[in-house]
């Protein structure tokens, strides 16, 4: 059975890797012993460094918290580049920075190694069910080569454009998500304060022009849609810290091309304060708690 490498088995990486595990011999690298044990128990082979992993396969997936960590895993002391053969494909599913993606890729190209960005959208639950969207940046040829493996992991797979475009599209998507999650919270909490049944307002907005992904799939208040973090004491899901990171990325990205993102910036400030107040690890939909103020007495752990 062909070996596939996977580095980064966190909230998002784990369910993605698990889908590959069903079809391929997985070789893995992660810093967390529990993550490693979970996968080796299911037949994956653990490597002690990225370099050792790259020596055994020509296809490596990364799903890491930031572009800076990706750089370290690729170019660090025991990085992938130390042993990766010519023709190796590195498919980076991290939500990263388009500029760093291009920098890493251009350097690897000199060694005959391909590096493309393929960040995902849809959350761990979607990843579990194979329902996520994947947005790929790279040549059409690289996209076509990655496609069969990506199809095991996701449903809607897009070739966003040249290298870095996957990250760019993801940043645009998640900036919209951060804003609309706050918008959904503001609207539902206003309804609550106006003494209108939240279930009715939610149902109305879902079927009218106030609709958005947070309203229709991932509402920030409990008892509206089953299986959401708001029904599970706001355990993530997708953490407020990660949303804060993505909004910061969007803001930096926008600044670098002189784009105007007033609500993106306002959303960043709201999430920044939320995280500073100690809520990094809550699901990002818990932002409704600060929007709600004292009008709403649902628990948050």
Q: Which is nearer to a copy of itself, 89 or 284 (CB)?
A: 284
For position 227 contacting a copy of itself by CB under 8 A, the verdict is no
230 neighbors 222 (Cβ within 8 angstroms): yes
41 neighbors 57 (Cβ within 8 angstroms): no
The answer to whether the CB of 72 falls within 8 A of the CB of 139 is no
Which residue among 23, 170, 200, 206 is the active-site one?
A: 170
63 binds a copy of itself (CB under 8 A): no
Region 143-162 residues binding a copy of itself, contact defined as CB under 8 A: 156, 158-161
268 lies in the binding site for a copy of itself (CB under 8 A): no
Contact string (CB under 8 A) for a copy of itself, positions 88-117, x = contact: ----------x-------------------
Q: Considering beta carbons, is residue 77 or 260 the nearer one to a copy of itself?
A: 260
- Based on its alpha-carbon atoms, the radius of gyration of the chain, rounded to whole angstroms, reads 20
Separation CA 299–CA 301 (nearest Å): 6
187 interacts with a copy of itself by CB under 8 A: yes
How far, in Å, CA of 234 to CA of 221, rounded?
Answer: 9
Which residue from 217, 225, 233, 281 is in contact with a copy of itself, where contact means CB under 8 A? 217
Cis peptide before 145 (omega within 30 of 0): no
Q: Which of residues 235-264 bind a copy of itself (CB under 8 A)?
A: 250, 253-254, 257-264
For residues 35 and 187, which CB has a smaller minimum distance to a copy of itself in the complex?
187
Count Cβ atoms below 10 Å from residue 178 Cβ, excluding itself.
Answer: 26
Chain centre to alpha carbon of residue 66: 10
Our CB check for a copy of itself shows the closer of 58 and 187 to be: 187
Backbone angles phi, psi at 192, to 5 degrees: -55, -45
Active-site annotation holds for 170: yes
For the annotated catalytic residues, the residue numbers are 170
């Amino acid at each position: 059975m062909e070996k596939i490498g996977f580095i980064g088995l966190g909230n998002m990486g784990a369910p993605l890797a698990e889908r590959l595990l069903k079809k391929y011999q997985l070789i893995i690298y992660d810093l967390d012993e529990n993550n490693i044990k979970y996968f080796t128990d299911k037949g994956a082979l653990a490597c002690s460094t990225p370099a050792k992993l790259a020596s055994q396969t020509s296809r490596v997936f990364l799903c890491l918290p930031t572009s800076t960590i990706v750089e370290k895993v690729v170019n660090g002391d025991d990085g992938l580049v130390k042993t990766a053969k010519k023709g190796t494909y590195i498919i980076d599913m991290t939500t990263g920075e388009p500029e760093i993606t291009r920098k890493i890729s251009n350097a690897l190209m000199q060694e005959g190694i391909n590096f493309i960005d393929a960040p995902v959208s849809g959350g761990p639950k979607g990843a579990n069910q194979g329902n996520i969207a994947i947005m790929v940046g790279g040549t059409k040829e690289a996209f076509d080569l990655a496609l069969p493996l990506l199809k095991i992991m996701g449903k809607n797979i897009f070739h966003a454009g040249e290298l870095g475009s996957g990250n760019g599209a993801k940043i645009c998507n998640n900036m919209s998500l951060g804003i609309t999650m706050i918008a959904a919270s503001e609207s539902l909490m206003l309804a609550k304060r106006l003494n209108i049944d939240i279930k009715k307002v939610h149902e109305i907005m879902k079927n009218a022009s106030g609709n958005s992904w947070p309203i229709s799939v991932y509402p920030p208040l409990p008892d509206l849609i089953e299986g959401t973090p708001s029904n599970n004491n706001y355990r993530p899901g997708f953490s407020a810290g990660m949303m804060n990171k993505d909004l910061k990325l969007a803001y930096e990205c926008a600044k670098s091309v002189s784009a105007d993102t007033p609500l993106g910036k306002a959303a960043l400030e709201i999430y920044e304060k939320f995280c500073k107040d100690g809520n990094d690890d809550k699901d990002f939909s818990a932002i409704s708690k600060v929007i709600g103020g004292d009008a709403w007495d649902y628990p948050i752990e």
